[in-house]
Structure 1
Amino acid sequence: MTVFTSITSFWRKWRDALRTGRQIDALLAHADPRAELAARNEWLVEVSHWLHREGPLAREAQQPDQAPKYPPHVRLRYLLQLLDRNPEWKARVALTLQSIVREMDAMALLCDSGMPAHSGFTGALIERLQDSLIPIAPNSRDLSNLFRLMFPSADDAQWVAALPRELLEKLSELFAYRTATPDEPAPAESSEDQHAPRSYSRLSIELLAAMHNLIGQVGSTGLSKAIRTRLSEKRLEALPFYQLPRAMLAIETAADGDVADKTESHARISTTLLQEVNYLRALLDECQRALRDVHAHLNENGVNVDIVFQLERMRTRIVRTERLLEAWLAIRQHGESAQPIASLFADLIAANHASHSVTGLMRSNFSLLARKVVDRSAEDGEHYVAYDRKNYLHMLWAAFGGGLVMVAAVYIKFFIFSLHMHPMVEGFFAGVNYASAFLLMHFLHFTLATKQPAMTAPMLAQKLDGIGTPQGMHDFVQAVVALIRTQAAAIFGNLVAVLPVCLLVQLLAHALFGANLLNPEKARATIHSFSLLGATPLWAAMTGVLLWVSSLLSGWADNWFVLHRLRDVLSYNRRLRFVLGERGAARFANFSRRNVAGVVGNFTLGMMLGLMPAILTAFALPYEVRHVTVAAGSIGTSIGVLGSAAFATHDIWWSLTGTAVMAMLNVAVSFALAFQMALRARPMQRRARREINRALWRYILTNPLQLVFPGRTKVAADTA
């Protein structure tokens, strides 16, 4: 049975290999240099797909002593051997390849692959979305489109970059293959063709033109107002972007002198050319440093996505220019090393795929904006963490004050819903009610427990940068313990104020006026709606998402205010100075700068809590706000209406359990989303989680009371 299985396996492999060999034989025999461009491109695409397709030919041809790393290398070697054994096929294939290269636009591949055509982020996003939906026509003269058809996967760049030297030499010979027939006469040789293969001479010209193109675009973008005004160097003639075009012209002049000098027939790179090349490389390094200065300016003074997009495109063009320069120098040395050329084309394949990735564009351009938003949240998060006893007691008082404000918001919400208005109108007024309560807390320096996690998570992620040192690890553990302790205190302060005070207000209203703020049916329905057995956990998690979104909008507003320099605009506004005076206008500008993030975050959170249920319900997606302070106030009022009858059923206990779960989900979801965004916004290496967990548990087991109550001062807590 084993012998029969081996014979069957061998027969199948031999049959598949024979079929694969017949496929490439048919492809090579049908090469036609006189066919239309679309037909020749389709033929080349089929040959390319045959090369990087897994199959039995690749497995059978590998030898133990010289096994290639990639199967396409085996197939390419087999293809070149077939051409060597069939001179007629080789001539037709060579002429077909040369005709394709001659008629295609190589500038698009060398300069534009990986570079969006639009100068702004929005235009590039639309361009990539269109490319992902519209397939490529094979009759396009854009060589980058042909590369996308030939190499459909970004992994193809790996085996192209790893091509062995002998395969690269055979490929260059194929592209430089010369034949003279009545239909295809041999082209006349130029002065440079006498010293280099024809394919290399043509590629050298294309590379030089591409470098001219890239240098011009880098220089013009670097001298634009958006970039120039953010550079530390203000003199125009001292900017590297201003000197780039002349350096490129000097290289071309020196290269022409080398070609004209017959004494340089062996090594066609003179000392003058090397000096000019090194000068250009130094200028490109200066351009990179200038881009880093602009990034630092944006990080300090506000981020603009379009400017970040232009910086990233400039950086990519500078790197592309350096790679083109390496390949051009390799060609100037008679192609003695073809590896830079193979590496260049591998980079072009990878860049071609990356230039059509929507997620890559979003990630690369929003990373700095996310970093700015996260850093702003981290600065605010420091105010929500109490390291010593004084700040801890202050947090308890601020949370109690926030709970008192929420008492008024709960009763106003009951009044709004008792009017039975249109759901959208009802949601609008509910949003105004919540927003007014949150803004009142902000200006009275009160706190809402569920808002803290979205602010404190970025602060915690920021401290992860220093855990590589003992002091950094100690600070991180201190921050985690203080964060847990402060969050618990804030929730306790809010609930101690909301539930008892709402209950007390209802009891006083009934005792003094004989009236209930809710009818008994509504009170029972309210208690039942917060039960853990219903949709409360899901809606509480969705409310946590809204809490996180409000923190993002808060950071974006702060970045927008700084980016457009609105503090200076308000300080020097003539009308404000006329009304408030010079010092009054400056105080108003500083007040706006300090509170713009808080106002936007609190206002948007309130409006989302009010309007999102009405908006989602209009689209047949039922949703209700499940915020722990609102739920606690509603339960307290309902207990005051029902009295001891509220405890006669199990609904009240399920409702209280649901409220506890609601508090955890509000906090956990918003914290998790903010923490993950903070980690993604800052580049950092993977940390040893075991060391963090070990240090955290060691501290908690040594100082368990620190989770409940801090020391008198931060120094005392550190000592403990």
Structure 2
Amino acid sequence: MIHSFKSLWKKWRASRGTVQQLDALLATADADAPYAERSDWLIELMHWIHRRGTLDATDLARAASDDEPRSAPPEHARVRYLLHVLERNPAWRANVGAIIRKLLRESDSISLLCDAGMPVHSGLTGALVERIQAQLIPPAPSRRDLAALFTLMFPNDNDPDWIATLPLDLLTRLHALIVEPEEARAPLPSTALAGDEPDAAATTPRGRQRSDFPVDLLTALHNLTSQISSTGLSSTVRSRLLDDDAPADVERLPFYRLNRAMLAVENARDAGEPERLLQEVRWLRLLLDSCRAATDDVFAHLYRHGVRVDTVFQVDRMRMRVQRAERLLDAWMASHDVRLQARLVADLVSANQASQSVSHLLRSNFALLSRKVVELSADTGEHYIARNRAEYLTMLRMAAGGGLVTAVTVYVKFGITGAHLPSIVEGVFAGLNYALSFLAIHFCHFSLATKQPAMTAPTLARELDGTGKAPGRARFVSSVVALIRTQAAAVLGNVLIVFPACLAIQLVFGWLFDASLISPEKAHSTLQSFSLAGPTPLYAALTGVLLWASSVFAGWADNWFVLHRVEDALAWNRRLRLTLGTSGAARFARFCRANAGGVWGNVVLGMLLGLVPAIVSAFAFQFEVRHVTLSAGAIGVAMGVLGAATLETAELWWAAAGVASMAVLNVTVSFGLAMQMALRSRGLRHKDVRPLMRALQRRVVRRPIDLFWPMRKSRDGAKAGRH
């Protein structure tokens, strides 16, 4: 009881203290103080609004609105109480309004309106150092910079949310507090834009509005359009918009006409011609839309012809500037709409926070890298998804061929380990064995099950773009079901061939030469090493990471080949044309283009599977590759050596369970990492994927057979259409 009383007493004193603190803060407001003192005073006022202490119930009741929802952010109640106190004290209200107006006039608003949220460095290192410095050394209140003032005023992540959701009555009262007293009673300048006669008193002799905010919006808009035009006309962007086979026509680009459209808007505004101004604003909006469409065309060109990080950085920043210019234009044309102004301020606060956040920088750079890898692997991944029965049976045949080649790989691997070489040397030879095997599978157009997930996830990422509507969700769910079914077919095809092939080779060798390819002791240790009760699941998951990493290297190789136009260089190479002929050089160039990513990815995967276990085991912990197809073949060899009596031993069935876990973990880990990269490349988070997962669950519950055997094409199409 005493403890509860003390707790209530402390809460009461804290709540009274917050009200007293506000009264003391408002009493010391001085509109004639130096800039640094005024900005510091405003920062302290915002800190009071951010405080989590509860206001006194009696004072809050006087200021409360009947329409205020109970779930409203606590900042709304504090803003409402602040306005209530100011309206009861006209002198305090006049001082507070004058302080805010003078700070807005004397601060550089361009830094906030134009530059907030816009990346400055194309490289990760420079941007990271800059943001860490900003975290360690915050800006001083004496800087006449609105972005710096916003940084100090709005440090919390929830600030954009409560600002954007301020009720209309609070926004109206805040607007009346900030604007000049005579302006609050006069018609807003935007009413003249709607067709009324322009107010002669609305501008000063210099042509500035009574409130400087609309003028600042126009100045920022002018700055943004100049930056957009400059980037759009640079050789980096221009070369990707103009047709190589047509004469260069720069004047048809929207970036070329953007500056003139902006000047026309400013001239119409200065001339006081509302109808002409509306016409010029419409033309400016149209050009901004065209600039956004041109930006999308540049991205499409990049992902078709190779990605360079610096170019993507410039184009992405140009797209952000186009979006910001559209928001500023909306706010300038609707300066009477307080809700729109609040949303603009919330967006600026959010962008300003993002421009100084280290975590946001890392997420955005990872998203850029993800999109780079994803887009380049999507076309390859489409070949690994069987969507109908014909493709399903083809996948089974391809997987069977891959299992047959892997049987040879298993025996070569046993030969390498039996030589008892130093671990690194053994890793090099094992990697070469794997690489040659994977290359043989690639050029024979066979399939290795665990290589598919890393390639197919990017294909699904493209379909994530249309999941906002029912048809897009149905396509995505159908693709996921087809992918699961394809993986089952690939694993089944690999295992059902590699296991009997390895077993048959050992039996034939034993029948012909009365000897075993490996010793019985090695066979027993092989089965024991695959046991589900041991570290096999961990090793299988780490192997899935290596499988995913190989797809990243394959995407990089594809990008490098396309970006540097190696295909054209080979097709027009003088020596190749003299040696192979014109058509032969062209065929060779197409062959290299089609196989660049596949060859590099297979070589890297082989060397990763061979060298990484040796390196990790030497410097960290014991690690061995656990690949489902290779392990199934090794079990076949062990059974051939130990004979049918092995079927009655527990070690065989524990090893079989371990191989089953490999099938699951190899596929799920590599696919999960690739899918995570795909989601990042689209800026999606887990909450955005939950509806898709629910739709997938409904599909699986309704027709579980789809996971193992495809429907007929007509029924599959009808089914997808009903989702």
Tell me the residue number matched to 2:221. 211
Tell me the residue number matched to 1:580. 580
What letter is aligned with 1:76? V
What letter is aligned with 1:16? A
- Measured after TM superposition, the shift of residue 436 of structure 1 is 0.8
Tell me the residue number matched to 1:296. 300
Contact conserved, 2:122 with 2:309, CA < 8 A, in 1? no
From the superposition, tell whether residues 379 and 561 of structure 1 become closer, same or farther in structure 2 (CA, over 3 Å).
farther
From the superposition, tell whether residues 486 and 25 of structure 1 become closer, same or farther in structure 2 (CA, over 3 Å).
closer
Aligned counterpart for 2:277 among listed residues 264, 273, 278? 273
Greater mean deviation of Cα atoms: 649-658 or 94-103: 94-103
Greater mean deviation of Cα atoms: 500-509 or 406-415: 500-509
From the superposition, tell whether residues 531 and 28 of structure 1 become closer, same or farther in structure 2 (CA, over 3 Å).
same
Tell me the residue number matched to 2:534. 534
Tell me the residue number matched to 2:602. 602
From the superposition, tell whether residues 172 and 473 of structure 1 become closer, same or farther in structure 2 (CA, over 3 Å).
closer
Matched, 1:620 2:628: no
Aligned counterpart for 1:153 among listed residues 156, 168, 172? 156
From the superposition, tell whether residues 482 and 248 of structure 1 become closer, same or farther in structure 2 (CA, over 3 Å).
closer
Contact conserved, 2:209 with 2:215, CA < 8 A, in 1? no
- Measured after TM superposition, the shift of residue 644 of structure 1 is 6.1
Tell me the residue number matched to 1:658. 658
- Distance across 1 between alignment mates of 2:437 and 2:717: 37
Tell me the residue number matched to 1:172. 179
Matched, 1:249 2:259: no
From the superposition, tell whether residues 550 and 16 of structure 1 become closer, same or farther in structure 2 (CA, over 3 Å).
same
Tell me the residue number matched to 1:449. 449
Rg larger for: 1
Tell me the residue number matched to 2:238. 228
- Measured after TM superposition, the shift of residue 646 of structure 1 is 5.1
From the superposition, tell whether residues 345 and 537 of structure 1 become closer, same or farther in structure 2 (CA, over 3 Å).
same
- Distance across 2 between alignment mates of 1:160 and 1:460: 37
Q: Deviations over 1:216-238 (max 9, x none)?
A: 11000010112112225741122
Tell me the residue number matched to 2:14. 16
From the superposition, tell whether residues 54 and 198 of structure 1 become closer, same or farther in structure 2 (CA, over 3 Å).
farther
What letter is aligned with 1:406? T
- After superposition, residues 28-107 of structure 1 pair within 5 angstroms as 28-31=26-29, 40-57=38-55, 60-61=60-61, 62-63=63-64, 65-67=66-68, 69-80=72-83, 82-83=85-86, 93=96, 97=100, 100-101=103-104, 103-107=106-110
Secondary structure, counterpart of 1:114 in structure 2: coil
- Measured after TM superposition, the shift of residue 654 of structure 1 is 1.6
Greater mean deviation of Cα atoms: 497-506 or 599-608: 497-506
Secondary structure, counterpart of 1:57 in structure 2: coil
- Distance across 1 between alignment mates of 2:467 and 2:27: 65
Aligned counterpart for 1:114 among listed residues 113, 117, 121? 117
- Measured after TM superposition, the shift of residue 381 of structure 1 is 1.5
Aligned CA-pair RMSD: 4.3
TM-score normalised per structure 2: 0.81
From the superposition, tell whether residues 134 and 663 of structure 1 become closer, same or farther in structure 2 (CA, over 3 Å).
farther
- Distance across 1 between alignment mates of 2:616 and 2:665: 20
Tell me the residue number matched to 2:428. 428
- Distance across 2 between alignment mates of 1:140 and 1:414: 70
Greater mean deviation of Cα atoms: 216-225 or 98-107: 98-107
- Distance across 2 between alignment mates of 1:153 and 1:396: 55
- Distance across 2 between alignment mates of 1:563 and 1:571: 15
What letter is aligned with 2:21? Q
What letter is aligned with 1:230? R
Tell me the residue number matched to 2:346. 346
From the superposition, tell whether residues 292 and 582 of structure 1 become closer, same or farther in structure 2 (CA, over 3 Å).
same
Tell me the residue number matched to 1:186. none
- Measured after TM superposition, the shift of residue 586 of structure 1 is 0.3
- Distance across 1 between alignment mates of 2:152 and 2:468: 47
- Distance across 2 between alignment mates of 1:337 and 1:92: 25
- Distance across 2 between alignment mates of 1:707 and 1:466: 24
Secondary structure, counterpart of 2:410 in structure 1: helix
From the superposition, tell whether residues 77 and 459 of structure 1 become closer, same or farther in structure 2 (CA, over 3 Å).
closer
- Measured after TM superposition, the shift of residue 211 of structure 1 is 2.0
What letter is aligned with 1:571? A
Matched, 1:381 2:379: no
Secondary structure, counterpart of 1:55 in structure 2: coil
Secondary structure, counterpart of 1:56 in structure 2: coil
What letter is aligned with 2:267? T
What letter is aligned with 1:318? V
What letter is aligned with 2:220? A
Greater mean deviation of Cα atoms: 618-627 or 166-175: 166-175
Secondary structure, counterpart of 1:440 in structure 2: helix
- Measured after TM superposition, the shift of residue 7 of structure 1 is 10
- Distance across 1 between alignment mates of 2:230 and 2:575: 39
Contact conserved, 1:58 with 1:74, CA < 8 A, in 2? no
Unaligned ranges ≥5, structure 2: 185-199
- Distance across 1 between alignment mates of 2:323 and 2:472: 39
- After superposition, residues 638-653 of structure 1 pair within 5 angstroms as 638-643=638-643, 649-653=649-653
- Distance across 1 between alignment mates of 2:373 and 2:310: 14
From the superposition, tell whether residues 483 and 239 of structure 1 become closer, same or farther in structure 2 (CA, over 3 Å).
closer
- Measured after TM superposition, the shift of residue 81 of structure 1 is 5.0
Contact conserved, 2:163 with 2:346, CA < 8 A, in 1? yes
Contact conserved, 2:83 with 2:173, CA < 8 A, in 1? no
Q: Deviations over 1:132-166 (max 9, x none)?
A: 56544444443212212211124222333424202
Tell me the residue number matched to 1:307. 311
Tell me the residue number matched to 1:184. none
- Measured after TM superposition, the shift of residue 14 of structure 1 is 5.2
From the superposition, tell whether residues 680 and 96 of structure 1 become closer, same or farther in structure 2 (CA, over 3 Å).
closer
Contact conserved, 1:58 with 1:75, CA < 8 A, in 2? no
- Measured after TM superposition, the shift of residue 70 of structure 1 is 4.6
Tell me the residue number matched to 2:569. 569
Contact conserved, 2:111 with 2:147, CA < 8 A, in 1? yes
> Once the two structures are aligned, what percentage of the paired residues are identical?
50
From the superposition, tell whether residues 129 and 408 of structure 1 become closer, same or farther in structure 2 (CA, over 3 Å).
farther
Greater mean deviation of Cα atoms: 661-670 or 31-40: 31-40
Secondary structure, counterpart of 1:65 in structure 2: coil
- Measured after TM superposition, the shift of residue 277 of structure 1 is 2.7
- Distance across 2 between alignment mates of 1:130 and 1:493: 56
- Measured after TM superposition, the shift of residue 344 of structure 1 is 2.5
Greater mean deviation of Cα atoms: 196-205 or 20-29: 196-205
From the superposition, tell whether residues 572 and 505 of structure 1 become closer, same or farther in structure 2 (CA, over 3 Å).
same
TM-score normalised per structure 1: 0.81
- Measured after TM superposition, the shift of residue 366 of structure 1 is 4.6
Contact conserved, 2:500 with 2:636, CA < 8 A, in 1? yes
- After superposition, residues 504-523 of structure 1 pair within 5 angstroms as 504-509=504-509, 516-523=516-523
- Distance across 2 between alignment mates of 1:20 and 1:666: 58
What letter is aligned with 1:167? L
Greater mean deviation of Cα atoms: 210-219 or 128-137: 128-137
From the superposition, tell whether residues 293 and 521 of structure 1 become closer, same or farther in structure 2 (CA, over 3 Å).
same
Tell me the residue number matched to 1:554. 554
Contact conserved, 1:374 with 1:681, CA < 8 A, in 2? no
What letter is aligned with 1:537? P
Q: Deviations over 1:77-124 (max 9, x none)?
A: 443554566676567656654564455332211111011123567754
Contact conserved, 1:111 with 1:213, CA < 8 A, in 2? yes
- Distance across 1 between alignment mates of 2:95 and 2:285: 41
Tell me the residue number matched to 2:195. none
Tell me the residue number matched to 1:181. none
Contact conserved, 2:367 with 2:680, CA < 8 A, in 1? no
Tell me the residue number matched to 1:365. 368
- Distance across 2 between alignment mates of 1:527 and 1:452: 27
Tell me the residue number matched to 2:502. 502
Contact conserved, 1:404 with 1:498, CA < 8 A, in 2? yes
